[in-house]
Amino acid sequence: MLWVDKYRPTDLVSLDYHDDISQRLESLAKNPASLPHLFFYGPSGAGKRTRISAFLGALFGPSAHKLKLNQREFTTPTGRTVEIHMISSDYHIELSPGDAGTSDRFVIQDVLKDIASSKNIRSSTEIKVVVLHQVDRLSKQAQAALRRTMEKYAVTCRLILCCDSPSKLIAPLRSRCLGIRVAAPCEDEIAKILKTVASKEEFGLPNSVAIKLARESDRNLRKALLMLEAAKVQAAGNGAIPENQYLPSADWEVYIRQLATDITKEQSPQTLMAAREKLYELLVNCIPASTILKSLTGELLNNLDDSVKLEVIEWASFYEHRIAMGSKDIFHLEAFVAKFMAIYKKYLNDLFG
């Protein structure tokens, strides 16, 4: 088992940071009948899921952690069937309705209708909980439908919504939920957790390495823990991770860094063709286009003069929007790369005449 899973806290008390949130969740869990719908949001790797699962444990007792993994098929009115993976316990059910693509609306309505009409196995008075992950991936229609559905079944079931970026949720939904913001842990908190895990695994972790890992992780605890484990594998042996340990990095990030260097070095249609190959490679490896663009922009900004940064970021946000709007990601990625090269070339020309 990966350390990320092995050392995941399972109850509210053992959560490592954000004590105020834990306290609040505990208060809410005491009075399930008056529980409002909840909306967990915060960046990836901040611990939203961990908190949700700990909260469910507090709400329903340990049997909420007895999870079953199952698949369910839904048939849309148009006759299409979609398969959705779900995780459920006796008290709750978890799914990512965004997996259903354009049929997300029906999946939500079906699941809620089902769970609201079926009696709870253990007790008939208690409420049931539906956890919807990645609600930011839901279409606007599905969100609007959700708004009605959650009112309709409010008596018997509560929703817990969860996503990375709250702005992608429509305002009426947000205002119907009690918002719980899970901020990413700060670097010190991450470093502390890394040290704890290291001591539980019984190997030495120098402070400097812990801090370096925390910084490299972009305040993402999951990433930090995985990096720690990867570093340990690299270091080999049972001993401590040496101070000068080379820190593992994500291959695709290295790749993007290289791409950024390429297009800052030379600006020509040929460079674009070469860049295109790199973009293809990233896309085939399932790196989302918008992540590519964001990460590339980050790398580019590192090497730029302040005077051109604004223009680059403006175009980045322009093309990222295009990517978010529809299909043909590669068009917008290449357009951005070309645009950057044009901007940079002009900057160089102005600089050196």
CB of 244 to other proteins, least distance (A): 18
The reply on whether position 68 binds other proteins by CB under 8 A is no
Among 75, 175, 199, 261, binds other proteins (CB under 8 A): 175
H/E element, 68: strand 68-75
Stretch that binds other proteins, among 176-184, 191-199, 200-208, 237-245 (CB under 8 A): 176-184
State both tokens at 166.
């709250």
Q: Does 106 bind other proteins (CB under 8 A)?
A: no
316 counts as binding other proteins under rule CB under 8 A: yes
Q: Check binding of 124 to other proteins (CB under 8 A).
A: no
- Regarding 326 and contact with other proteins (CB under 8 A), the answer is yes
DSSP letter string, 186-220: PHHHHHHHHHHHHHHTT----HHHHHHHHHHTTT-
| 46 near other proteins (CB under 8 A) | yes
Does 82 help bind other proteins (rule: CB under 8 A)? no
With binding defined as CB under 8 A, does residue 10 bind other proteins?
A: no
Scanning 193-201, 208-216, 237-245, 264-272 for contacts with other proteins by CB under 8 A, the matching segment is 264-272
Taking the complex as a whole, the smallest distance from the CB of residue 32 to other proteins amounts, in Å, to 9
Residues 6+ apart with CB under 8 A from 133: 49, 94, 95, 96, 98, 162, 163
Nearest-10 Cα torsion for 106, 112, 116, 121: 120
Is residue 34 a contact point for other proteins (CB under 8 A)? yes
* Contact with other proteins (CB under 8 A) among 73, 237, 284, 351: 284
- Count of residues in contact with other proteins, rule CB under 8 A: 131
Identified binder of other proteins from the candidate list 28, 214, 296, 300, rule CB under 8 A: 28
Q: Identify the residue among 13, 70, 101, 242 touching other proteins (CB under 8 A).
A: 101
Residue 166 interacting with other proteins (CB under 8 A)? yes
The Cα–Cα gap between 30 and 321 comes to: 43
> How many CB atoms lie under 10 A from the CB of residue 272?
16
Would you say 147 or 257 has its CB closer to other proteins? 147
- Partners of 69 in beta bridges: 87
**Residue 204 CB, nearest approach to other proteins (Å):** 19
- Helices (H), ranges, the chain: 3-6, 19-30, 48-60, 104-117, 140-152, 171-175, 187-200, 207-216, 221-235, 251-265, 269-284, 289-302, 306-325, 329-352
- Would you give the distance in Å from CA 152 to the centre of its chain? 29
Q: How many CA atoms lie within 13 A of 246 on its CB side?
A: 4
Of 156, 192, 235, 347, the residue at the interface with other proteins (CB under 8 A) is 156
Token pair 């970026």: residue: 165
Is 258 a binder of other proteins (CB under 8 A)? no
x/- map, 195-234, other proteins, by CB under 8 A? -----------------------xxx-xx--xx-xx--xx
Name the nearest CA neighbour of 213 among 252, 187, 235, 251: 187
Question: Which residues pair with residue 73 across a beta bridge?
Answer: 83
